[in-house]
């Protein structure tokens, strides 16, 4: 277990105070600190009595801390968001107005215009972690590569913490400016029934879920888009796909 990860909870608390406690609710602060504390165990699993593989974080919360069931679920979601935030931070904080040709998030961005890829990728990430996205972003800024030496003195450490705060604020401001601060409240323009009607399906299934993801990506890429425009895009895309098959 590295020294840096052992120091993470203290650094996390100090950075929360430096940013301003009002940026986080009490619940967000609490679970952010738990996520920092248990980060060394994020890839550790164990087998329960039935031989099922379970994250060890689940065991700690359920059997040792006796906390509510949603706590480990949230902490695990925060942990899973970190690598994606680390990918997005340099893009969110860049002063360059040009958009990246690709955003590698381990997912396909369905026919998304280059100018919208960052918004779509960030939107999908925030939909995963919801109101705890600031916790994921904060931990990611602490894990973000640094040019300074770990043996630095107090003044240098304080300067580094100030840099982490500035990095967090720059990424946070970018997310807010993209209109994604509460993206999980976004109501889908097209529902499952609409999708089934376009595809002439009598029941749902994987194909409907696939199109829900595609349409959500379209909606994130076109925040001012209408229901009609969304359906027109779906019909056109489906028609092209049918011809190719």
Residue 114 pLDDT > 70, yes or no? yes
Q: Which residue has the higher pLDDT, 17 or 239?
A: 17
Any idea which residue has 């940026």 for tokens? 23
**Residue 245 confidence (pLDDT):** 65
Residue 197 and residue 219 in one domain = yes
Do residues 28 and 104 both lie within one domain? yes
186 compared with 160, residue with greater pLDDT: 186
Quote the domain boundaries for residue 61.
3-185
198 and 141 part of one domain = no
- The number of CA neighbours under 13 Å toward the Cβ of 172 is 20
> pLDDT band for position 59 (50/70/90)?
confident
Domain closes at, from 134, 168, 185:
185
Q: Do 152 and 65 share a structural domain?
A: yes
| Shared-domain flag, residues 210 and 167 | no
46 DSSP β-pair partners? 54
pLDDT higher than threshold 60 for residue 76: yes
* Residues 182, 176: Cα–Cα separation, whole Å: 9
The whole-number pLDDT of residue 154 equals: 47
Which among 210, 207, 220, 215 has a CA at the least distance from the CA of 234? 215
Whole-structure pTM value: 0.87
pLDDT confidence band for 204 (50 / 70 / 90): confident
Q: Are residues 127 and 203 in the same domain?
A: no
How does residue 1 score in pLDDT terms, banded at 50, 70 and 90? very low
Residue 152 CB neighbours (<10 A):
13
Confidence of residue 239 (pLDDT cuts 50, 70, 90): confident
* Count: domains in the chain: 2
CA 151 – CA 157 distance, rounded (Å): 9
Tell me: do 220 and 173 sit in the same domain: no
Domain boundary among 185, 218, 234: 185
- Is 56 in the same domain as 176? yes
Q: What is the mean pLDDT of residues 94-122?
A: 72
Model confidence at 210: pLDDT above 70: yes
- Do residues 19 and 74 both lie within one domain? yes
Q: Is residue 105 located within the same domain as residue 215?
A: no
**pLDDT tens readout for residues 136-172:** 999 999 999 876 554 555 445 666 899 999 999 999 9
Q: Which of 185, 216, 233 is the last residue of a domain?
A: 185
Query: Is residue 165 domain-shared with residue 219, that is, in the same domain?
Result: no
16 and 136 together in one domain: yes
Average confidence score pLDDT of the chain: 87
Distance CA 31, CA 76 (A): 10
């Amino acid at each position: 277990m590295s020294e840096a990860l052992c120091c993470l909870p203290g650094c996390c608390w100090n950075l929360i105070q430096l940013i301003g406690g009002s940026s986080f609710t009490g619940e967000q602060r609490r679970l952010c600190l738990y996520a920092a504390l248990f980060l060394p165990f994020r890839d550790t699993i164990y087998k329960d009595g039935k031989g099922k593989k379970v994250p060890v974080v689940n065991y700690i919360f359920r059997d040792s801390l006796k906390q509510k069931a949603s706590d480990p679920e949230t902490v695990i979601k925060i942990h899973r968001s970190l690598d994606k935030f680390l990918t997005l931070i340099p893009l969110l904080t860049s002063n360059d107005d040009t958009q990246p040709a690709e955003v590698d998030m381990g997912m396909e961005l369905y026919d998304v215009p280059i100018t919208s890829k960052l918004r779509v990728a960030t939107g999908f990430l925030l939909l995963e972690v919801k109101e705890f996205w600031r916790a994921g972003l904060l931990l990611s800024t602490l894990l973000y590569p640094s040019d300074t030496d770990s043996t630095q003195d107090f003044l240098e450490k304080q300067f580094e913490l100030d840099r982490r705060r500035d990095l967090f604020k720059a990424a946070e401001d970018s997310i807010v400016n993209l209109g994604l601060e509460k993206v999980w409240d976004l109501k889908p323009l097209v529902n499952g029934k609409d999708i089934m009607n376009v595809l002439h399906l009598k029941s749902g299934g994987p194909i409907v879920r696939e199109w829900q993801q595609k349409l959500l990506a379209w909606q994130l890429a076109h925040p001012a888009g209408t229901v009609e425009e969304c359906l027109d895009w779906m019909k056109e895309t489906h028609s092209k796909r049918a011809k190719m098959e």
